[in-house]
A = this chain, B = another copy of it.
Amino acid sequence: MKERLEICLSGSGGQGLILAGIILAEAAGIYDGKEAVQTQSYGPEARGGASRSEIVISEKTIDYPKVIKSDILLALTQTACDKYVKNLNKDGILLADSSLVKEIPDISNKAYLFPIAETAQKKFNTKLVTNIISLGIIVGLTEVVSQESIQKAVCSRVPAKAKEINKKALSLGFDIARGLKNNK
């Protein structure tokens, strides 16, 4: 793995991307023993409804905590995809929700498409776990943190009564990742 890894989780407010960012950073920084910084920025763009959670994970101390070029970009809306794909590293990967992002920008990067929110609704009867399924897919695809660590971080951050559904959502994400990898 690269020494410094930059992840951008993008979409709109209410999709749980802040929580997902915190969970991913805690998995890396608390359970995997790395350095991790998680950042949210609010400004004109947040007021327009675009939401972005940034995570930097590193083997060493992190000097600059914001994402410069994403190694991993999650896009849960068309607007977010169009905007942040420009910031994708040349060997970075894109994971986009194909039920929400209808036009995938013309890029040479590896792009993984899956109807994440639709699947959340179908399997769990709620779109609320879209963020956790997404984390499962990201970890399954990239091993940016260990599966054990992300599961611990999910369990420590979601409310007790939602623990089971979120564990299942994460596990579903791992399975989806396996399928996506095999299709490449």
Write the residues of chain A forming the contact surface with B, with a CB cutoff of 8 angstroms. Answer: 18, 22, 25-26, 28-30, 33-43, 46-47, 61-62, 64-66
Contact = CB atoms under 8 A, between A and B. Distances in A.
A62 B41 contact: yes
Contacts of A43: 29, 34-36, 61
Contacts of A26: 42, 46
Given A29-B41, A38-B39, A43-B61, 16 more contacts: A25-B42, A28-B42, A29-B43, A30-B47, A33-B47, A35-B41, A35-B42, A35-B43, A36-B41, A36-B43, A37-B41, A37-B42, A39-B65, A41-B65, A65-B65, A65-B66
Chain A interface secondary structure, helix, strand, loop or mixed?
Answer: mixed
Contacts of A34: 43
Chain copies in the assembly?
2
A41 to B, nearest CB: 5
B37 A38 contact: no
A9 to B, nearest CB: 14
Contacts of A64: 64
Nearest to A63: B66
A155 to B, nearest CB: 14
Given A65-B65, A66-B65, A22 B40 contact: yes
23 contacts: A18-B22, A25-B42, A26-B42, A26-B46, A28-B42, A29-B43, A29-B46, A29-B47, A34-B43, A35-B41, A35-B43, A36-B41, A36-B42, A36-B43, A37-B40, A37-B42, A38-B39, A38-B42, A41-B62, A41-B65, A64-B64, A65-B65, A65-B66
